[in-house]
Structure 1
Amino acid sequence: MTKLPALPRGPVALAPDTAALLGRLATRLGRPAAVTIDPALVEEAEAALHTAIPFDVLAVLAVEARYPAGLVAWTEEICTYYKTSAPTVQFAHVAFAQLVGTYDDWTAEPCFAAFARTTDRAKTRLVRWDLRKPGPDGQPYSLAQYLAERHEQDLHATAPPLTLSIEPPPVVERYATHPKFGRGRVLLRSEGKTRLEFTDGIRTLADSFLKFE
């Protein structure tokens, strides 16, 4: 099994062009130019995927307010699809966003923005993966293409460059009870979900299943 490098804590270095692109996206989405991502969520996803997640992709997730667990779900779905329908196809990538159609036919089956598995977070090789017509390594892709396609972003707009930090969420002194997992300490609440620390570990659960104190 590939040994993954330790995930750093604190600010991480983004290439200037990447920081500029994602800074424009943050402004468009009404997000701050300084974003953070929870290292525990990243490490959990990396362990499931057996790969490091590049800093560029982590920055995209932070700006779009998405969880790394989504990468695990998409990647597992793609691999399962090929096991049942096309066993000779190997998906040696990790999907980080679902796209609509293909360049030539926007009514076609979904494609995915993906990155090659890596042990070096500073290096990102993005591809566009056509689910129905996969190439050996996917089509070469870029962050600029993704932003233009997904967000119709104006690449010439001005905005502060994005800064990304990998930091645990602030501790909130509040508790909630779950029917199965019992009483846990609230760590973070966002978008109808709450991250809690239980005696047997940390979980993210829907608020509808929790009783807050």
Structure 2
Amino acid sequence: MAKLTNLPRGPVALAPDVEAQLGRLAAQLGRPAAVTVDPALVEEVEAELRTAIPFEILAVLAVENRYPIWLAAWTRDIDDYYVTSGGGMRFPHVAFAQLVGTAGDWTAEPVFAAFKRTDDRSEARLVRWDLRKPGPNGEPYSLAQYLAERHEPLRPGPAAPLKLAIEPPPVVERWATHAKFGRGRVLVRAEGKTKIEFADGVRTLADNFLKFE
């Protein structure tokens, strides 16, 4: 794969239909119509996965209040599943959402929303990937299909189009204390878990075991 395209700083232009769809989603979820993404968090995941993350995926994550780190976790889980199950299957994509099943319940057929790995983030191609019955390249998918499957029907009516910016967050030191690991610096909080830098290393812990300050 060629060198990844640089992640810009500042406002990012999205397709008008994407701005409109995500603007309505933001209004429905009570999120602002202008969202920002921390470039450091994106670049860390892009380096690990060796792929550029399309801007529309970054916008989806921002509206849903999720972090890019979960893309790496889901993709590792899928890669590990194919390695341990044998058969020579590989996952040539990056998962950005789980649509069916959960990691703790493999009796369901796990299905993921994903995009093809690429060195050019403008070449977004979404797919729906059935973990146990995948097609050669996954089933063609779209942002509209994802929103319909993942969220309540978007309410009709006017809504401000979503505006995405790639900007470092304000420098705000936040700390958390754990009964066993002590006090550490908060790196990322998402979906009831927090990534913290302690004196002996970085750990991800459930929020209900932490005291924040």
Residue 124 of structure 1 corresponds to: 124
Instruction: State the SS of the aligned residue for 1:4.
Output: coil
Residue 114 of structure 2 corresponds to: 114
CA distance in 1, matches of 2:115, 2:39: 20
- Residues 171 and 188 in structure 1, CA contact (< 8 A), matched pair in contact too: no
1:158: Cα distance to partner?
2.7
Identity of aligned residues (%): 71
- Residues 95 and 114 in structure 2, CA contact (< 8 A), matched pair in contact too: yes
CA distance in 2, matches of 1:6, 1:201: 29
1:11-26 to structure 2, matched below 5 A, reads 11-26=11-26
TM-score (norm 2): 0.82
Residue 160 of structure 1 corresponds to: 160
- Residues 175 and 212 in structure 1, CA contact (< 8 A), matched pair in contact too: yes
- Residues 26 and 32 in structure 1, CA contact (< 8 A), matched pair in contact too: yes
CA distance in 1, matches of 2:6, 2:203: 22
- Residues 2 and 51 in structure 1, CA contact (< 8 A), matched pair in contact too: no
CA distance in 2, matches of 1:191, 1:145: 23
1:153: Cα distance to partner?
2.5
- Residues 66 and 191 in structure 2, CA contact (< 8 A), matched pair in contact too: no
Residue segments in structure 1 that go unaligned for 5+ positions in a row? 102-106
Structure 1 residues 143 and 167, CA gap change in structure 2 (3 angstroms): same
Instruction: State the SS of the aligned residue for 2:98.
Output: strand
Structure 1 residues 212 and 112, CA gap change in structure 2 (3 angstroms): closer
CA distance in 2, matches of 1:162, 1:9: 17
Residue 6 of structure 2 corresponds to: 6
Deviation per CA, 1:108-127: give whole Å up to 9, x if none. 51210000011111221000
Residue 79 of structure 2 aligns with an amino acid whose one-letter code is C
Residue 34 of structure 1 aligns with an amino acid whose one-letter code is A
1:38-77 to structure 2, matched below 5 A, reads 38-77=38-77
- Residues 2 and 50 in structure 1, CA contact (< 8 A), matched pair in contact too: no
CA distance in 1, matches of 2:28, 2:99: 19
Residue 149 of structure 1 corresponds to: 149
TM-score (norm 1): 0.82
Give aligned pairs, total: 207
CA distance in 1, matches of 2:188, 2:69: 16
- Residues 172 and 188 in structure 1, CA contact (< 8 A), matched pair in contact too: no
Residue 104 of structure 1 corresponds to: none
CA distance in 2, matches of 1:144, 1:10: 26
Give the alignment's Cα RMSD to 1 decimal: 3.0
